[in-house]
């Protein structure tokens, strides 16, 4: 079985090129929503090639993690301020090497759709642990659409999405939130019924 580290080693050189149409048509307009109202010490979990860097709040001190060293190499070039401050780390979101309450808030874009079902709750729980009590966690994720045509199209896309990214439209991250001890503050679609923005609150 191909691990995600192996998968992203393979795809890292082409990742931004493959994502460019989606970045232009969807993601660039949605990424600012991840950071609305956030500041202070932020964790960008699954930073990838650093596409979120252009949207970080000016008053934030951001740290980024990713399991893939190849993706982090690209993030270092795209996020020079974060990189030069030594705040880019190769790290697994299910086992974060940060003390509790290290961050005021955390974000993740298209990370949880890559995590298999048995890792959803541990990853959410870890984000809740490293965020201060009452702090926010904001996720931007794909879901399986309800619309019949879009649902059919995502099933056609599924084999490629899994091969390239290890991702699925069926992770249903929101369902795992209570088991992680977090609270859903907001859940809304931000692109048709395909992309959802979740705002969660850490216990406290």
* Average pLDDT per 10 consecutive residues for the chain, totaling 204 residues: 75 88 92 97 98 96 97 96 97 97 98 95 98 98 86 83 81 95 97 94 92
The partner residues of 138 in beta bridges, in order of sequence, read 107, 199
pLDDT computed for residue 121 by the predictor = 98
> Residue 55's domain is classified under what CATH number?
3.40.50.150
- Joined together, the tokens standing for residue 72 give 């982090």
pLDDT at 1: 40
pTM of the model: 0.93
Structure tokens at 66: 């990713």
**Predicted pLDDT of residue 149:** 84
Q: Which domain holds residue 80?
A: 4-201
Count of domains in the chain?
1
């Amino acid at each position: 079985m191909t691990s995600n580290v192996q998968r992203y080693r393979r795809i890292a050189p082409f990742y931004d090129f493959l994502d460019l149409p989606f970045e232009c048509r969807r993601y660039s307009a949605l990424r600012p929503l991840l950071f609305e109202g956030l500041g202070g010490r932020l964790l960008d979990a699954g930073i990838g090639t650093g596409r979120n860097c252009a949207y970080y709040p000016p008053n934030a001190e951001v740290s980024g993690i990713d399991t893939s060293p190849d993706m982090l190499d690209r993030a270092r070039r795209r996020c020079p301020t974060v990189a030069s401050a030594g705040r880019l780390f190769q790290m697994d979101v299910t086992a974060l090497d940060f003390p509790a309450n290290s961050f005021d808030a955390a974000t993740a874009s298209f990370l949880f759709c890559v995590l298999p079902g048995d890792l959803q709750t541990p990853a959410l729980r870890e984000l809740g642990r490293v965020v201060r009590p009452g702090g926010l966690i904001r996720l931007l994720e794909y879901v399986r659409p309800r619309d019949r045509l879009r649902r059919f199209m995502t099933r056609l896309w599924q084999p490629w999405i899994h091969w390239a990214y290890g991702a699925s439209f069926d992770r249903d991250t929101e369902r795992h939130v209570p088991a992680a001890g977090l609270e859903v503050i907001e859940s809304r679609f931000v692109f048709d019924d395909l992309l959802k923005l979740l705002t969660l609150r850490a216990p406290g």
